[in-house]
Homo-oligomer: A and B are copies of this chain.
Amino acid sequence: MFDSSTTCEELSHPLWNRETTPGSLADLLQGFEPRRRLLKPKSHVFRAGQAAGSVFLVNSGIFKTCLATSDGRERITGFRLRGDLMGMESLGQEVHSSDAVALATGEVWEYTRQQLSAAGPQVQQRLANELASEIRRDWRWMLDIGSLCAEKRVVAFLLDLGARLQAMGFSGRHLSLHMTRSEIGNFLALQLETVVRAMSRLQLLGLIAVDGREIELRDTVGLSRMLSVSPSERLRAA
């Protein structure tokens, strides 16, 4: 078990609050002042059914986007970190079709439809690229969820989150999941108990260290190796 005094420290880490532009989209939009919204945990950035048009750039914190059906089913479509865009999937729609909820205190920058269209073709282009990369991300998760067993899905999830945090300047080894086991399971199409069991086993194998929502990736190469499927499984999704 690693030092648990780091619990929830990352949110107050200076990098999370730096005022530099996180992605090239904000670079392109300099001159257009976004509306800045500070979000408390569990508060909504937007809800399905609300008027759409703006896109929200995550500046700090961590958010989830979810889809719900009339018959009560619900699905988390992604966890969004600094630099990620939310709300673009409603482009061309009158209203949002999904929710965006803060998992921790954070800030989003809202760019209105007007700002985006006034910003010129370069921004349009950039936005289309972001949409395309969201599709590639989604397809990748559809692939993983369809062809990996529970344990491997959890590994893929942890490695993905670690890599994204690392790309933001963090260690990538120590991550604090700000979401519940249930939310992880929902995203990975697993029950929360299955997520718990997978993590327990990964800890037993010495690959990770679990302390509540603080996870240490003890052996990233070992974790990555887990993802290369065994010969018997190679045929599964083929």
A29 CB within 8 Å of chain B: no
Chain B residues whose CB sits within 8 angstroms of the CB of A133 once the complex forms: 92
Q: If A142-B145, A146-B145 touch, does A74 touch B135 (CB 8 Å cutoff)? A: no
Contact B135 A72 (CB under 8 A): no
Contact B139 A98 (CB under 8 A): yes
How many monomers of this protein are in the complex?
2
Q: Please tell me the number of chain A residues within 8 Å of chain B, measured between CB atoms.
A: 46
Residues of A at the B interface (CB closer than 8 Å) are 67, 69, 71-75, 77, 88-93, 97-98, 121, 124-125, 127-129, 131-136, 138-143, 145-147, 186, 189, 227-229, 234, 236-238
Cα distance A129–B40 when bound, in Å?
Answer: 31
Tell me what chain A mostly uses at the interface: helix, strand, loop, or mixed: helix
Q: If A145-B142, A228-B71 touch, does A135 touch B189 (CB 8 Å cutoff)? A: no
Contact B135 A229 (CB under 8 A): no
Contact B92 A128 (CB under 8 A): yes
Contact B128 A91 (CB under 8 A): yes
Q: If A88-B132, A90-B132, A186-B237 touch, does A142 touch B142 (CB 8 Å cutoff)? A: yes
Residue from the list B75, B121, B124 in contact with A143, Cβ < 8 A:
B75
Contact B124 A89 (CB under 8 A): no
Contact A128 B139 (CB under 8 A): no
Contact B145 A135 (CB under 8 A): no
Cα distance A147–B73 when bound, in Å?
Answer: 7
> Chain B: which residue is nearest A187 at the CB level?
B146
> Chain B: which residue is nearest A89 at the CB level?
B135
Quick one: which of A72, A125, A227, A234 has the most chain B CB within 10 A? Answer: A72
